[in-house]
Amino acid sequence: MVESVIGIRGKDFVLLAQDANTTKYGILNMKFDTNRLFKLSEHCAMLAAGEPGDVVQFAEYVGKNIQLYKMINGIELSPYACANFTRHEMATSLRSRNSFLANLVVGGYSTNERDQNRAQLYSIDYLGAMVSANVVAHGFCQFFALGIGDRLWKEDLTVDEALFMLQTIVNELGKRMAAYPHCVFVRIIDAQGIRVLDNMYPEKIHVAKPSEGELQTSADMMDIHS
């Protein structure tokens, strides 16, 4: 739950972001450069958060099978098809002895001109439930990301507006969470493919120095000495 993965769908792009921390026991930061993004095709990628072994094993299994389908049939699956295949595999594993504890965000840009929405974004949880939305998130960040996304998202969202929304979410994580992400990796997927953008960091919190008059004990505040 400490790990944060976020997806934002714009007019003709998808923005994917993830915290780079690997946190153990909820209080110890083990790494600061963890990559949670797995490439599914030239225009589709998946963010995965959960148990480290399950995340890597499931994400690589899905990615390799999607690549195998392209090699056999010569067709690149759309983000919608990738998400449905991923959801099916998650649901199948749930009904076996080898279930995976991983929450996923699948996003991409469809190269099929007949698709009404070229930019596609999906959220898949460890129970195999899938939903398409404009803003999706997994982890503790969802308590802030979904509310901020509901307030700031709009039709014809531009890249700059999506980056502003993401920075607002990252700032809230830095303010509200004890184990906040020190660095957030950002990628964008559009007609040009998957590209890496500049990292984001939570803004620093400045607290004013208390005055001498504010340095009172509880007894002083209750005036029990008078």
Q: Please give the Cα distance from 13 to 157 (Å, whole number).
A: 9
Q: Domain extents for the chain?
A: 5-200
8 A C-beta contact, residue 87 and residue 128: yes
SS3 of 71, please? helix
User: What's the CATH code, domain 5-200?
Assistant: 3.60.20.10
134 SS3 class: coil
Question: What pTM value is reported for the model?
Answer: 0.87
Q: In sequence order, what are the beta bridge partners of 130?
A: 124
Q: pLDDT value at position 106?
A: 97
For residue 150, give every residue at least 6 positions away whose Cβ sits within 8 Å of its Cβ, in sequence order, or none. Answer: 135
What is the pLDDT at residue 150?
Answer: 94
Q: Tell me the sheet residues that pair with 86.
A: none
What is the mean pLDDT, run by run of 10 residues, along the chain of 226 residues?
88 93 73 88 93 90 94 92 96 90 95 86 95 93 91 94 95 83 91 94 83 66 56
Is residue 111 classed exposed, middle or buried when 0-12, 13-18 and 19+ CB atoms within 10 A define those classes?
middle
Residue-level pLDDT at 34? 85
The residue to which tokens 């030239």 are assigned: 42
